[in-house]
Amino acid sequence: MKEIQIIAFFAALLMLVCILELIRRRKLKERFSILWLFSAIILIVFSLWGKLLEILAKLMGIYYPPLVLIPIIMFIAVVLFIYFSIIVSDQSEKIKTLAQKIALLEQKIVNQNESKNI
Amino acid sequence: MDQNITQSLRVLAIVPAYNEEITIQSVIQEILDKVTGIVVCVVNDGSNDKTAEVAKESGAVVISHPFNMGIGAAVQTGFIYAIRNDFDVAVQVDADGQHDPSFIMKMVSELTQMNADVVSGSRFIKKGGYKSSFLRRIGIVVFEVINRIVVGQKITDSTSGFRAFNKRAIAFLADKYPEDYPEPEVLIILKKNGYKVMEIPVDMRNRQGGQSSIKGYKSLHYMAKVILAILMQSVKVEEK
């Protein structure tokens, strides 16, 4: 094993442990962590199986195998960003509905109180 | 002819308002004066000024959003209120005094007589009622062409915020309402779902207070964004 592989392995392992620990401490909900866990596992696979990079490099026509990591990491990052944008959109829709319901309820309560006072 | 039918309808004026304390009172007053039996519902979209208080004193039903969510959400809240309180017609009116309430009854009777689901007040059907710059007129023509393609019907003033909706349209829009550029998008989703859209000529006045949120080079940017929103809206999948 090359030194760089060992460093990469421990870095990826650290990421995996951090994610698991965040879930355990309830700082991170499971359903938001699936993609992160998946990314960490992919990185671990790459660090352990050095040949994989060379195989992919050949397939993609890249001369210098470590450069294969760049498109892979970019792909993971883009997927994560889109995933979180979807979550944000969903939540903003829910917040809007909640705020509208509160506003309508408040108007109803104020209205009822006023008619009682008359 | 249909004076009686029109008179017996329960009509709600929905006035979305964000920091309109200067004009809101005269707008409410004028609507109440010109349209007998109408209920005015001001949706205060998280204003920082006294819009809610002034509107309440002027005799409107006031619904206040806890924070600013944009005009789309405000109008939608008005529709939900209309549905829950069993109104037959909802008329959207701007809070800045641009819209002349004398047209409200005209729009409502058009709605019933022509059996339409939406009647939209247009500044551009009649020539000369509305003064605008050269650039603006180009923008208007571009919008007309796009609407022709996307909506499949001639819409002269797709950004008009002066509109009357019947019960069927209210129920539909209370459930889902476009957020980003609601005025043109509303017509598209209504047409797409088989609702009948009509336009009648109205005069609009210069604003009494506040200012247009769109001016100068920003208008080009605005147009590009609205066109994108319109095109996206026309291909969106219906959620069930």
Does A48 or B90 have the greater pLDDT score? B90
Residue B101's domain comprises: 3-235
Are B73 and A96 within 8 A, CB to CB?
Answer: yes
Look up the CATH number of the domain holding residue B199: 3.90.550.10
Are A103 and B66 within 8 A, CB to CB?
Answer: yes
Q: Are B119 and B201 in contact (CB under 8 A)?
A: no
B35-39, long-range: CB < 8 A, 24+ apart: B35/B11, B35/B101, B35/B104, B35/B105, B36/B7, B37/B7, B37/B10, B37/B11, B38/B11, B38/B12, B38/B13, B38/B104, B39/B10, B39/B11, B39/B12, B39/B13, B39/B87
**Structurally, how many domains does chain B consist of?**
1
pLDDT value of residue B1: 44
For residue B240, tell me if it sits in a domain: no
A98 touches chain B (CB under 8 A): no
pLDDT value of residue B19: 94
This prediction has a pTM of 0.82
Are B81 and A100 within 8 A, CB to CB?
Answer: no
For residue B68, tell me if it sits in a domain: yes
Q: Please provide the DSSP assignment of A11-56 as one string.
A: HHHHHHHHHHHHHHTTSS-HHHHHHHHHHHHHHHHHHH-HHHHHHH
Which of B115-129, B134-148, B199-213 shows the lowest mean pLDDT across its residues? Answer: B199-213
For residue B81, tell me if it sits in a domain: yes
For A100, the closest of B62, B76, B179 (CB atoms) is B76
From the list A42, A26, A29, the residue with the least C-alpha distance to A84 is A29
B156/chain A closest Cα distance in angstroms:
31
The phi, psi pair for A41, rounded to 5°, reads: -65, -40
Split at pLDDT 50, 70, 90, the class of B126 is low
- Its ipTM equals 0.80
Q: Are B11 and B88 in contact (CB under 8 A)?
A: yes
Q: From the candidates A100, A106, A109, A115, which should be mutated to test the interface with B, based on the most B CB atoms within 10 A?
A: A100
Residues B154, B223: Cα–Cα separation, whole Å:
19
Q: Which residues from chain A sit within 8 angstroms of residue B77, using beta carbons?
A: 100, 103-104
Average pLDDT on B59-74 reads 95
For residue B97, tell me if it sits in a domain: yes
B132-190 tens-digit pLDDT: 667 777 877 888 888 888 878 888 888 888 999 999 999 999 998 988 788 888 988 89
